[in-house]
């Protein structure tokens, strides 16, 4: 009895002289079609493998570039954090210097008033002596008071001058830091 099967690819009926091939799912082919199909499948697998290799190489290159960029970004962030801490410290020092300058300025005003008293007329000094009392003990006490005030005045005057110089230096540094286009190096 003749075989009444058709080729799945070309739809021709098989005759007894032709070689046929079948695959596990039940499809039947002429032998020539089956061989051609297998060759094409192998070529397609090779092409797919080549495409996958190329994709893997491109992915590795992209990953490497991303890792490099991430490293640079982390380094930049670290440097910026250090610069920020440095500027915060400078700002705190400047704030402390301003407060110290304000306090010293107030003390200097008070001492300048005392200096006016030291350089005042005899009548002002006599009034001060009168307020302290009379006698040798009061004069000695007033003298000691005046000498200690004078020393304190000179000490505060020197401290004020030092503070002003420090304040100017800090302002210059802060101004230099804030206007500099180059990043800090630590």
What gap in Å lies between CA 165 and CA 168, rounded to an integer? Answer: 5
pLDDT tens, residue by residue, 49-95 = 788 888 888 888 898 999 999 999 999 999 999 999 999 999 999 99
Name the region of 113 (left: φ>0; alpha: ψ -120 to 50; beta: rest): alpha
Average confidence (pLDDT) over 132-137 = 68
- Secondary structure (3-state) at 28: strand
Q: Give the domain ranges of the chain.
A: 20-179
Average confidence (pLDDT) over 161-166 = 88
What gap in Å lies between CA 132 and CA 141, rounded to an integer? Answer: 8
Average confidence (pLDDT) over 165-183 = 76
pLDDT tens, residue by residue, 27-44 = 888 888 777 777 777 777
The helix-helix angle for 122-132 and 31-118 (nearest 10°) equals: 90
Asked if the model's pLDDT at residue 169 lies above 80, the reply is yes
In degrees and rounded to multiples of 5, residue 11 shows phi and psi of 65, 15
pLDDT band at 5 (very low <50, low <70, confident <90, very high): confident
Q: Is 28 exposed, middle or buried (0-12, 13-18, 19+ CB in 10 A)?
A: middle
């Amino acid at each position: 009895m003749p075989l009444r099967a058709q080729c799945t690819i070309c739809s021709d009926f098989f005759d007894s002289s032709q070689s046929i091939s079948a695959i596990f799912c039940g499809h039947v082919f002429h032998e020539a079609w089956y061989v051609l199909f297998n060759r094409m499948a192998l070529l397609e697998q090779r092409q797919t493998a080549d495409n996958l290799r190329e994709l893997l190489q491109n992915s590795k290159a992209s990953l490497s570039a991303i890792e490099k960029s991430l490293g640079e970004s982390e380094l930049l962030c670290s440097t910026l954090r250090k610069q920020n801490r440095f500027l915060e410290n400078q700002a705190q020092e400047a704030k402390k210097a301003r407060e110290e300058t304000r306090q010293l300025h107030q003390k200097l005003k008070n001492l300048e008033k005392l200096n006016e008293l030291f350089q005042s007329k005899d009548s002002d000094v006599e009034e001060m002596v009168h307020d302290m009392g009379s006698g040798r003990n009061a004069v000695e006490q007033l003298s000691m008071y005046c000498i200690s005030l004078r020393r304190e005045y000179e000490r505060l005057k020197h401290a004020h001058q030092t503070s002003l110089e420090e304040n100017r230096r800090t302002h210059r540094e802060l101004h230099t830091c804030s206007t500099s286009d180059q990043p800090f190096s630590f």
